[in-house]
Amino acid sequence: MTGSLLQVRGLSVRAGSLQLLHGISFDVAGHGTTVILGRDGAGKTTTLRAILGQLRSSGSVCFAGQEVANMPTHALVRMGIGYVPEDRRVFPDLTVAENLRLAERDRPDYDRVYTLFPDLAQRGKQRAGTLSGGQQQMVSLARALLNDNRLLVIDEPTKGLSPAVVTTVTAALAAVARTVPVLLVEQNLQVVSELAHGAVVVNAGRLAWTGNTRALLHDAQLTRTLLGVAARRP
């Protein structure tokens, strides 16, 4: 057993008078994939954005033994946290090659990216805004995977994608997670069951459950209570 890489303790986020997160605590393991689950609007994206310093938070975020809460986002990323945000966020007017070039940190590994997503190698000169949703997601993932990361933080990578693309993205994530720990937000339980070991469930800005993904998805009652959906049998 490897110890945990990221410890989140009592993480709270306010937006004006609104309390978005109420003291969430969980660990992200130093290997494999940890998934954050929860209904729409539960606070999953807010949790990730707070960890990455995009939202001011109170509480503690400890990464590889160092307190990093409210550190500037660019500095956290440079410490080795690759971030793939919700909704892909490609730069539509830049080409695929420019999107990737912008993401280069110390030693970009284009071979790794083009092996995972061969499609991107051919589309370097294409404007990212003209790509399909699936291709845009590949660009978004590629921007993070180009670099050597100590942790990947990925928000709903399969959202709105066709089943074929979901398969491609899931396979890529499974390959990546063999070498880099991943903190994943994902609603597709099929994908979750293929990728995730640890699960963290949030509900209305609070921690609702934490434990083993398999245990959660095998318990139809628990899944329904926590997520409001029937678990698909893996």
Partner 1 sequence: MTTIVLLAVTGLGLAALYFLAASGLTLVFGLADVLNLAHGLLVSVGAYTAWVTATSLGGSHPSTRDIAIAVVAGTAAGALAATVVEVTMIRPLYQRTFEQILITVGLSLAGVALLQIVWGTQPLTFPKPAWTATVSTIAGMAVPNHSLILIAAAATVLIGLTLFLRHTRIGLIVRAGVQDREMVIALGVNVRTAFTVVFAIGGAAAALGGALGGIYFGAIDPSQGAALLIFAIGVVIIGGKGSITGTAVAATVVGLLQQFVNYYAAAGAGDLCVIALLAAVVLVRPQGLAGGKTA
Q: Which parts of this chain interact with partner 1 (CB under 8 A)?
A: 52, 54, 72-75, 77-78, 83, 85, 89, 91-94, 98-99, 101-103, 105, 143, 147
Out of partner 1, Mg ion, ligand ADP, none, which partner does residue 41 contact, by CB within 5 to 8 A per kind?
Answer: ligand ADP
C-alpha span between 234 and 232 (Å, rounded): 6
20 binds ligand ADP (CB under 6 A): yes
101 membership: H or E segment, kind and range: helix 96-103
Nearest residue to 180 (alpha-carbon basis) of 112, 82, 110: 82
- Decide the pairing of beta strands 33-37 and 182-185: parallel
Q: How many residues bind ligand ADP (CB under 6 A)?
A: 11
Structure-block tokens of residue 131: 């790509």
CA dist 74 and 115 (Å) reads: 27
Residues 15-54 that bind Mg ion (CB under 5 A): 44-45
User: Out of 43, 157, 181, 198, which residue is the one contacting ligand ADP (CB under 6 A)?
Assistant: 43
CB 187, min distance to ligand ADP, A? 9
Evaluate whether 151 touches 5 at the Cβ level (below 8 Å): yes
Per-residue contact flags (x/-) with Mg ion for residues 64 to 103, judged by CB under 5 A: ----------------------x-----------------
